[in-house]
Structure 1
Amino acid sequence: MASHYGTAILAARPRRPKDKAKVEVAVQIAQRWIQARLRNQRFFSRAELNAAIKTLVDELNARQMRGFGSSRAELFAELDKPKLTPLPDQP
């Protein structure tokens, strides 16, 4: 996959990753926000629950970030999406 995208794979920092705690807190905040929004709803199928979670994730990604002045979706469309190439047909 790395050769397909023309990138190099670097090993993670094994000793003391400095950004691990920040990422874990960000995931925890997103998880709690989604769970808080869904706590009073009742779902009768997993598909129904997944659809509700998808709309909330899309809403979360569309929110403006304080430090950047734009949303995660806007930054993805501007920076990452143009550089993606389709995956090969054969695994």
Structure 2
Amino acid sequence: MPAARISMRQIIEVLRLKYEAGLSHERIARACGLSKGVVGKYVSLATAQGITWPLPEGTDEVRLEAQLFPAKTPPSRFAEPDYFQVHQELKTKGVTLQLLWAEYVERHGVLGIFRPKTTKCSGSPAIYGL
């Protein structure tokens, strides 16, 4: 379980001590009651996000938090096909959905294959090869 994030006030204080007072990570850590690693983490995070000191006019804790920790969008599990292109290709003589599926798997790999559940079927699962 990841450690809890320190408060935005502490992060602002760390940045102020680093850039305004010019203190080392060790001295900032002692002054704020944090570890040197935590100080280094937030200083490098601010540097990577392009945050400078003094903070720009109108930057409050909420805005700074949004800059430091942008919302992460979960990656899609599937590469969604271009349905318009699929529709156009299906109009071509000799092109089947199975052929297009084979091309899709070749291009993207098997990201997930639909396997119907057989729990509603009568009989033993062994009959269905499960």
For Structure 1 versus Structure 2, the TM-score category normalised by the shorter chain is: 0.3 to 0.5
Find the structure with the greater CA-based Rg. 2
Higher helix share goes to which structure?
1
Does 1 or 2 have the higher relative contact order (CA < 8 Å, sep 6+)? 1
- Please give the TM-score of this superposition, normalised by the length of structure 1: 0.32
